[in-house]
Structure 1
Amino acid sequence: MFRTVLSGCVGAIAAGGVLVSAAAPAFAGGRTLACYEQAVIPATYQTVSQQVLVRAASTRVVEQPAVYSFQTRRVVVQPERVSYRQVAPVYQTRSRQVQVRPASIGWEYQIRKGRKVLCKVKHPAVYQTVHEKVLVKPGGRVAVTHPAVYGSVQERVLVRAATRQKVHVPAVYKTVTRQVKVRDAQVVWQPVKVRGCR
């Protein structure tokens, strides 16, 4: 603050704080009514916050690649088929009784008690065991069925197709704080109390 004491503490203040006239010698010895000094009122500042654009809003394209997976699938390696083979005949040896001579009645001489007599004799049938080869199953062409043969394979299958999507990216702002002058510095006249001034 700058202070100046007017000589003799006599002066006059015009409207607006401007010094109009000072005491003249003609008024010397008069009674001082008031004294003033010049003062500087500093400028006034205010802190303000402001939103500042850091990055503007934009749109970008996001691509999602296709997603694949592997699945196991059962496949026929060799289908069912029929083949033929030659089968030899099957034989079996069987036994049976064969009559060699039938029962009969005949006459023959016999010695009975030292005497030769003619007797009527009954002869039973005579049998003999005969072994023969019998066909049990004839040979020929026989069909043979071969079942199908299966296996497994890995297949690549699409789970999700590729996509393209637009994504909106919002603008980015930052709060900036700064000092703003509200009022300039001013020079004014202020009343003072010094000896000789009331």
Structure 2
Amino acid sequence: MFMRHKLFSAVTALTISVLFAASAAEAGGKALSCYQQAVVPAVYKTVQERVLVKAASSHTVQKPAVYGYQKRRVLVQPERVTYRTSPAVYQTRHRQVQVQPASIGWEYRIVKGRKTLCKVQHPAVYRTVAEKVMVQRASKVAVRHPAVYGHVKEKVLIQPAQNYVVQQPAVYKTVTRQVLVQPARTVWQPVKVRGCRH
């Protein structure tokens, strides 16, 4: 279209030049009006438009499994019963034991300076002796030992591994550019020249 417009302008300018030359020759040289060619510059305008910088996309992300630790009660030693032997208990006791019974006998004594045979009664003779006496027999005593428990740490799965898709939106940006509204063109404009009237 721009080339067509330039061609039309050139043809028009040539036609006007020919007509002007013919008119001047026929009119005897007195110009009634004068024109000169002038270039009208192209007209542009600034526009903003949204352009795609990066297209939308998606990718898969793998989320690993999550593990944790927990305490668990375990039996270390079961309940059991043992027996403790209690020895016999003894006590020392004292008692009187007759060593010699009471008796009657004869013995010499000095009575008023003279040796005299006398009948004498002798009492029983006792002696204290100690003896060990059992006051409690030996026995077995049952001793109960309760079960013993402990704790261990064990690894447990909290959340299994999973895959999920991450969407990346398209990225746009706004750019500014010049747009041709009207191309440059050549026109005939009136001019003041001596000898020409308008």
Structure 1 length normalisation: TM-score? 0.68
1:59 Cα offset (Å): 4.2
Distance 2:150 2:125 in 1: 70
Whole-Å separation in 2 of the counterparts to 1:105 and 1:136: 37
Instruction: Decide whether aligned partners of structure 1 residues 164 and 26 sit closer, same or farther in structure 2, where only a CA change above 3 A counts.
Output: closer
Structure 2 residue ranges without an equivalent (≥5): 1-11
Q: CA offsets, 1:20-51, max 9 Å, x none?
A: 82224331153x33211011223222232221
Counterpart in the other structure of 1:99: 97
**Alignment match, 1:67:** 66
Q: Say whether 1:134 aligns with 2:133.
A: yes
- Match for 1:21: what amino acid? L
What is the SS of the residue equivalent to 1:21? helix
Distance 1:186 1:42 in 2: 7
- Provide structure 1 residue ranges, at least 5 long, that are not aligned to the other structure: 1-15
Matching residue's letter, 2:134: L
The residue number in structure 2 matching 1:148 is 147
Q: How far is the alpha carbon of 1:188 from its aligned partner?
A: 0.7
1:129–1:135 CA distance, 2 compared to 1 (3 A): same
User: After TM superposition, what 4+ stretches of structure 1 lie above 6 angstroms from structure 2?
Assistant: none
User: Are residue 49 (structure 1) and residue 20 (structure 2) matched?
Assistant: no
Secondary structure of 1:25's counterpart equals helix
Letter in 2 for 1:26: E
Conserved in 1, the CA contact under 8 Å of 2:70 and 2:155? Answer: yes
Length-normalised TM-score, structure 2: 0.68
Q: Distance in 2 between matches of 1:120 and 1:130?
A: 28
Question: Contact conserved, 2:86 with 2:141, CA < 8 A, in 1?
Answer: no
Moved more, 159-168 or 65-74: 159-168
Q: Which has the higher helix share?
A: 2
CA distance in 2, matches of 1:194, 1:126: 189
Identical-pair percentage: 48
Partner of 1:33: 32
Q: For the Cα contact (< 8 Å) 1:60–1:167, is it kept in 2?
A: yes
* Equivalent residues of 2:93, 2:133 under 8 A apart: no
Q: Deviation of residue 122 (structure 1)?
A: 7.0
| Pairwise CA RMSD | 3.5
Q: In structure 1, what is the equivalent of residue 172 of structure 2?
A: 173
2:77 aligns with 78
Does the alignment pair 1:159 with 2:189? no
Distance across 2 between alignment mates of 1:25 and 1:88: 162
Moved more, 63-72 or 134-143: 134-143
Given that 1:89 and 1:135 are in contact with CA atoms closer than 8 Å, whether structure 2 keeps it comes out as no
Equivalent-residue separation in structure 1 for 2:147 and 2:29 (angstroms): 142
